[in-house]
Structure formats: structure tokens, C-alpha cells
Chains A and B, each alone.
Chain A
Amino acid sequence: KAGVTQTPRYLIKTRGQQVTLSCSPISGHRSVSWYQQTPGQGLQFLFEYFSETQRNKGNFPGRFSGRQFSNSRSEMNVSTLELGDSALYLCASSLMGDEQYFGPGTRLTVT
């Protein structure tokens, strides 16, 4: 069974721009969660989508948004990028919200 895939793997953007990251979960998994990892921080939870509905949301500003499609693929969008948004963005899928399986992440650099 194919694992979680994330595209792109690396991205460089300029302050003020917006970015969209994509995540394809493991086949059959209905839950997709997004996390931000920065140096010295653990994984900070952004949001979770389950069957196209946002089920949980972390403590991030409204510039961070996401959605999930009917095939469970998910996208995350960050608008008006700031330098502090530079991070590794991880997507994880699970069958029903139990054990999560992570993708390799997208490394976003904001200059």
C-alpha cells in the first residue's frame, strides 16, 4: 500500500506571497491532519479534516486554511506569508483518527 505523499517537497517563497501544499493520504484513510514543525518546537497541530469536514483546528491564525476533497486528498493554504512561516509542514493520515501515518513533509522557506 502506498504511503502518504506530499507535494512539493521543497518550496521557496517571498514574504507576502501565498502557498498551497498538497497531501495524498493512504488509500482508504479518511482523516488528514496537518502539522507545522519548526526548530526547537514539537509538531504544532494545524487542523484535521475528516470526510471533507474540518473536525479539529489548532491555534493558528486565519492565514492558514485547508480543505479536503471527496477522494480524501487535502490541501493546505497559507496566505500573506511571513518569515516565521518557514517550517516543515507535515501531513498525516489515519483511518478514523487513530494511529497517524506521516508523509515526508514539505519544507517551506520564506525569504
Chain B
Amino acid sequence: DQQVKQNSPSLSVQEGRISILNCDYTNSMFDYFLWYKKYPAEGPTFLISISSIKDKNEDGRFTVFLNKSAKHLSLHIVPSQPGDSAVYFCAASGGYGQNFVFGPGTRLSVLP
């Protein structure tokens, strides 16, 4: 029973275009969300977070949107660069002291 789902195992985008990675969750108690990027043979790297009191958070080329009623969040990368090619994980937590539940990941390929 996956509480955090990333229904697209892979995504290909042209360099310079927007990449949109989606994440859905089932547990309505989740109120803190993180996105990570992972290259092969490395640990995941923290990208951006959002808490349930906000519906949008931006950091440079990365923007995360949260739709609590739909239990859906998305990560937008604009413009996409070849170095963004990696596996992206979303993770959710019920708040302080709660562990994070990770999605299965989406492999993003940015084509030059």
C-alpha cells in the first residue's frame, strides 16, 4: 500500500523546456513534503521543501506546488538542463518527529 506515489517512472524533456514531476499521496495527515534528486552511485540530494501552510515554494529554477485537496504535489524545473537528468523522489511526513515516506522515484532525462 503505497502512501506516496509517483506514477511516471520516467520522463524525457528537451533542454530549455519545463520539466514537471508529479507526486500523489494518500495519507491526509502528511503536512510536510520534500523533493530529492539522486544521481547513480550517490545519495539523494535535498532540493526543495514545502509545508501544508503554503501552496507554492520557489528556489531558483525549482518550484514546488502543493494541492492539499487533491493530495497532489508537483515539481517544476524551468529551464531544464542536461545536468538535471537524475531520479527525483518526493517524500512526505506527518510533521515533527514523524518519519518520511518516499515515493518510488521518476527518472528525468533532459535531452540536449
Contact = CB atoms under 8 A, between A and B. Distances in A.
Given A42-B89, A43-B89, A99 B101 contact: no
B9 to A, nearest CB: 9
A92 B99 CA distance: 11
Contacts of B19: none
A4, A99, A101: residue with the most chain B Cβ atoms closer than 10 Å = A99
Question: Chain B at the A interface: mostly helix, strand, loop or mixed?
Answer: loop
9 contacts: A4-B43, A40-B104, A41-B104, A44-B102, A45-B99, A56-B98, A99-B34, A101-B46, A104-B42
Nearest to A56: B99
Interface of A: 4, 33, 35, 40-45, 48, 50, 55-56, 58, 90, 92, 96-105
A105 B43 contact: yes
Contacts of B104: 40-42
A45 B101 contact: yes
A43 B102 contact: yes
B24 to A, nearest CB: 13
Given A42-B89, A42-B105, A90 B43 contact: yes
B80 to A, nearest CB: 23
B85 to A, nearest CB: 19
Contacts of B99: 33, 45, 48, 56, 58
Given A42-B103, A99-B46, A104-B41, 7 more contacts: A4-B43, A40-B104, A42-B4, A100-B46, A102-B36, A102-B45, A105-B43
Interface string B1-23: 00010100000000000000000
Nearest to A35: B102
A35 B105 CA distance: 14
A18 to B, nearest CB: 24
A9 to B, nearest CB: 9
Contacts of B4: 42
A21 to B, nearest CB: 13
